[in-house]
Structure 1
Amino acid sequence: MNKEYQVLFEPVKIGGVELKNRFCLAPMGPLGLSDTEGGFNQRGIDYYVERAKGGTGLILTGVTFSDCEVEKQSMPNCPNSTYNPVHFVRTGREMTERIHAYGSKIFLQMSAGFGRVTIPTNLGEFPPVAPSPIQHRWLNKTCRPLEVKEIKSIVKSFGDGAFNAKRAGFDGVQIHAVHEGYLLDQFAISMFNQRTDEYGGSLENRLRFAREIVEEIKSRCGENFPVSMRFSLKSMIKDWREGALPGEKFDEKGRDIEEGLEAAKLLVQYGYDALDVDVGTYDAWWWNHPPMYQKKGLYMPYAKLVKKAVNVPVSCAGRMDDPDMALEAIKEGVCDIISLGRPLLADPCYVNKLRANKVDEIRPCISCQEGCMGRIQEYSAINCAVNPQAARERFTAYNPVVKPKKVLIVGGGVAGCEAARVLALRGHMPEVFEQTDKLGGNLIPGGAPDFKEDDRKLAEWYRNQLKLLNVPVNFLRKVTKKFVLSSDYDAVIVATGSTPKVFSLGDDAHVYTAADVLNGEKDPGESTVVIGGGLVGCETALWLARQGKKVKIVEALDKLLAVNAPLCHANREMLERLIPYNNIETITSAKVTGYGGGKLSVVLSGETKELECDSVILSVGYKPENSLYRQLEFDVSEIYLLGDAKNVANIMYAIWDAFEVANNI
Structure 2
Amino acid sequence: MNKKYAPLFEPAYIGKLKIKNKMAMAPMGPIGYADPHYAYNQRLQDYYVERAKGGIGLIITGVTTVNVDVEGIEAPGMPCVTKCPKAFVHNASQMNERIHAYGTKIFLQMTANAGRSTMPGMVKNMIAPSAQGNRFDPSVQHREMKKEEIAQYTKDFVKGAMIAKRAGFDGVEIHAVHEGYLLDQFAIAIYNHREDEYGGSLENRLRFATDIVKGIKKACGQDFPVSLRFSLKSCMKALRQGGLPGEEYEEAGRDIEEGVAAAKILVAAGYDALNVDAGTYDSWYWNHPPMYFEEEGMYRPFGEILKKEVNVPIILAGRMENPDIAVEALGKSCDIVEYGRQLLADPDYPEKLRMDRLKEVRPCLGCHEGCLGRISKGPISCAVNPACGRESIYGITPAMKKKQVLIIGGGVAGCESARVAALRGHKVTLVEKSDRLGGNLIPGGMPSFKHYDHDLVTWYEHQLKLLNVDVQLNKELSVEQIRNSDNDVIITATGSKPIVLRQEKLKKAVVADDVLMGRVHVGDQVVIIGGGLVGCETGLWLAQKGKQVTIIEMQKEILGGPHGMPFMNYSMLTDLMKYHHMQVLTNTMVEEVKDDSVTVVQNGIASTLSADTVISAVGYKSENTLYEAIRDLNKPVYNIGDSNQVHNIMYAIWNAYEIVRNI
Q: Same fold (TM over 0.5)?
A: yes
How far apart are 1:552 and its partner, in Å?
Answer: 0.9
Paired amino acid for 2:321 = D
1:426-437 superposed matches below 5 A: 426-437=424-435
How far apart are 1:367 and its partner, in Å?
Answer: 0.4
Pair 1:23 & 2:49 matched: no
How far apart are 1:343 and its partner, in Å?
Answer: 0.4
1:330-349 superposed matches below 5 A: 330-331=330-331, 333-349=332-348
CA distance, structure 2, for counterparts of residue 32 and residue 194 of structure 1: 33
Secondary structure at the aligned position of 2:78 is classed as: coil
Task: Tell me if structure 1 keeps the 8 A contact 2:82–2:159.
Answer: yes
CA distance, structure 2, for counterparts of residue 111 and residue 606 of structure 1: 52
Secondary structure at the aligned position of 1:381 is classed as: coil
Task: Tell me if structure 2 keeps the 8 A contact 1:45–1:95.
Answer: yes
CA distance, structure 1, for counterparts of residue 238 and residue 453 of structure 2: 34
Pick aligned residue for 1:469 from 459, 467, 470 = 467
Report the count of equivalent residues: 661
Task: Tell me if structure 1 keeps the 8 A contact 2:317–2:337.
Answer: yes
Task: Tell me if structure 2 keeps the 8 A contact 1:51–1:344.
Answer: yes
Secondary structure at the aligned position of 1:144 is classed as: strand
Q: What does residue 549 of structure 1 align with?
A: 547
Q: What does residue 49 of structure 2 align with?
A: 49
Q: What does residue 297 of structure 1 align with?
A: 297
Paired amino acid for 1:235 = S
1:208-219 superposed matches below 5 A: 208-219=207-218
Give 4+ residue runs of structure 1 displaced > 4 Å after superposition. Answer: 505-510
Paired amino acid for 1:545 = A
CA distance, structure 2, for counterparts of residue 428 and residue 121 of structure 1: 47
CA distance, structure 2, for counterparts of residue 458 and residue 57 of structure 1: 26
User: What TM-score do you get using the length of structure 1 for normalisation?
Assistant: 0.98
CA 570–386 in structure 1, closer or farther in 2 if over 3 Å, else same:
same
Secondary structure at the aligned position of 2:325 is classed as: helix
1:41-190 superposed matches below 5 A: 41-123=41-123, 125-126=124-125, 128-139=126-137, 140-190=139-189
Q: What does residue 194 of structure 1 align with?
A: 193
CA distance, structure 2, for counterparts of residue 447 and residue 71 of structure 1: 43
Q: What does residue 630 of structure 1 align with?
A: 628
Task: Tell me if structure 2 keeps the 8 A contact 1:421–1:465.
Answer: yes
How far apart are 1:479 and its partner, in Å?
Answer: 2.0
Task: Write out per-residue CA displacement over residues 439-458 of structure 1, whole angstroms, 9 at most, x where no aligned residue.
Answer: 01111111000001111100
CA distance, structure 1, for counterparts of residue 436 and residue 121 of structure 2: 43
Task: Write out per-residue CA displacement over residues 286-342 of structure 1, whole angstroms, 9 at most, x where no aligned residue.
Answer: 1001101112111110111011111000011111111111111115x1101111110
Secondary structure at the aligned position of 2:141 is classed as: coil
Quick one: percent identity of the two aligned structures? Answer: 52
CA distance, structure 2, for counterparts of residue 54 and residue 32 of structure 1: 24
CA distance, structure 2, for counterparts of residue 53 and residue 107 of structure 1: 16
Secondary structure at the aligned position of 2:568 is classed as: helix
Task: Tell me if structure 2 keeps the 8 A contact 1:32–1:44.
Answer: no
Task: Write out per-residue CA displacement over residues 88-131 of structure 1, whole angstroms, 9 at most, x where no aligned residue.
Answer: 001000100000000000000000121101112422x24x1111
Task: Tell me if structure 2 keeps the 8 A contact 1:510–1:614.
Answer: no
CA distance, structure 1, for counterparts of residue 384 and residue 191 of structure 2: 38
Task: Write out per-residue CA displacement over residues 254-288 of structure 1, whole angstroms, 9 at most, x where no aligned residue.
Answer: 10100000001111100000000011000010100
Q: What does residue 456 of structure 2 align with?
A: 458
Secondary structure at the aligned position of 2:538 is classed as: helix
How far apart are 1:566 and its partner, in Å?
Answer: 3.5
How far apart are 1:71 and its partner, in Å?
Answer: 2.2
How far apart are 1:607 and its partner, in Å?
Answer: 2.3
Q: What does residue 364 of structure 2 align with?
A: 365
Paired amino acid for 1:122 = M
Pick aligned residue for 2:391 from 365, 390, 393 = 393
CA distance, structure 2, for counterparts of residue 121 and residue 322 of structure 1: 38
CA distance, structure 2, for counterparts of residue 8 and residue 308 of structure 1: 21
Higher mean alpha-carbon deviation, 234-243 vs 264-273, is at 234-243
1:131-530 superposed matches below 5 A: 131-139=129-137, 140-294=139-293, 295-331=295-331, 333-376=332-375, 378-504=376-502, 506=504, 510-530=508-528
Task: Write out per-residue CA displacement over residues 241-263 of structure 1, whole angstroms, 9 at most, x where no aligned residue.
Answer: 11111222111111010000000
CA distance, structure 1, for counterparts of residue 120 and residue 132 of structure 2: 16
How far apart are 1:420 and its partner, in Å?
Answer: 0.3
CA 643–537 in structure 1, closer or farther in 2 if over 3 Å, else same:
same
CA distance, structure 2, for counterparts of residue 17 and residue 34 of structure 1: 28
Q: What does residue 600 of structure 1 align with?
A: 598
CA distance, structure 2, for counterparts of residue 146 and residue 21 of structure 1: 41
Task: Tell me if structure 2 keeps the 8 A contact 1:24–1:337.
Answer: yes
CA 270–565 in structure 1, closer or farther in 2 if over 3 Å, else same:
closer
Task: Tell me if structure 2 keeps the 8 A contact 1:32–1:380.
Answer: yes
CA distance, structure 2, for counterparts of residue 379 and residue 471 of structure 1: 35
CA distance, structure 2, for counterparts of residue 98 and residue 597 of structure 1: 67
The unaligned stretches of length 5 or more in structure 2 are none
How far apart are 1:558 and its partner, in Å?
Answer: 1.2
Secondary structure at the aligned position of 1:551 is classed as: strand
Task: Write out per-residue CA displacement over residues 458-515 of structure 1, whole angstroms, 9 at most, x where no aligned residue.
Answer: 0100011001111011111122210111110000000000011011355778521111
CA distance, structure 1, for counterparts of residue 134 and residue 214 of structure 2: 30
CA 645–565 in structure 1, closer or farther in 2 if over 3 Å, else same:
farther
1:556-635 superposed matches below 5 A: 556-562=554-560, 566-635=564-633
Task: Tell me if structure 1 keeps the 8 A contact 2:640–2:656.
Answer: yes
Secondary structure at the aligned position of 2:247 is classed as: coil
Task: Tell me if structure 2 keeps the 8 A contact 1:496–1:644.
Answer: yes
Paired amino acid for 1:343 = Q
Paired amino acid for 1:147 = K
Secondary structure at the aligned position of 2:559 is classed as: coil
How far apart are 1:56 and its partner, in Å?
Answer: 0.5
CA distance, structure 2, for counterparts of residue 408 and residue 303 of structure 1: 51
User: What TM-score do you get using the length of structure 2 for normalisation?
Assistant: 0.98
Secondary structure at the aligned position of 2:385 is classed as: coil
CA distance, structure 2, for counterparts of residue 78 and residue 425 of structure 1: 35
Task: Write out per-residue CA displacement over residues 209-238 of structure 1, whole angstroms, 9 at most, x where no aligned residue.
Answer: 001100111111111100000000011121
CA distance, structure 2, for counterparts of residue 369 and residue 503 of structure 1: 31
Higher mean alpha-carbon deviation, 176-185 vs 73-82, is at 73-82
Paired amino acid for 2:605 = E
Task: Write out per-residue CA displacement over residues 140-197 of structure 1, whole angstroms, 9 at most, x where no aligned residue.
Answer: 1221111111111111111111111101100000000000000000000011111111
How far apart are 1:567 and its partner, in Å?
Answer: 1.2
CA distance, structure 2, for counterparts of residue 502 and residue 479 of structure 1: 25
Pair 1:9 & 2:9 matched: yes
Secondary structure at the aligned position of 1:418 is classed as: helix
Task: Write out per-residue CA displacement over residues 513-557 of structure 1, whole angstroms, 9 at most, x where no aligned residue.
Answer: 111111111122222111100001000000000011111111111
Task: Write out per-residue CA displacement over residues 417-442 of structure 1, whole angstroms, 9 at most, x where no aligned residue.
Answer: 00100111110111100011000111
Paired amino acid for 1:185 = D
Higher mean alpha-carbon deviation, 578-587 vs 654-663, is at 578-587
Secondary structure at the aligned position of 1:420 is classed as: helix
CA 371–203 in structure 1, closer or farther in 2 if over 3 Å, else same:
same
Task: Tell me if structure 1 keeps the 8 A contact 2:68–2:74.
Answer: no
CA distance, structure 1, for counterparts of residue 257 and residue 613 of structure 2: 48
Paired amino acid for 2:275 = D
Secondary structure at the aligned position of 2:132 is classed as: coil
Q: What does residue 33 of structure 1 align with?
A: 33
CA distance, structure 1, for counterparts of residue 480 and residue 592 of structure 2: 42
CA distance, structure 1, for counterparts of residue 233 and residue 499 of structure 2: 44
CA distance, structure 1, for counterparts of residue 166 and residue 301 of structure 2: 38
How far apart are 1:402 and its partner, in Å?
Answer: 1.3
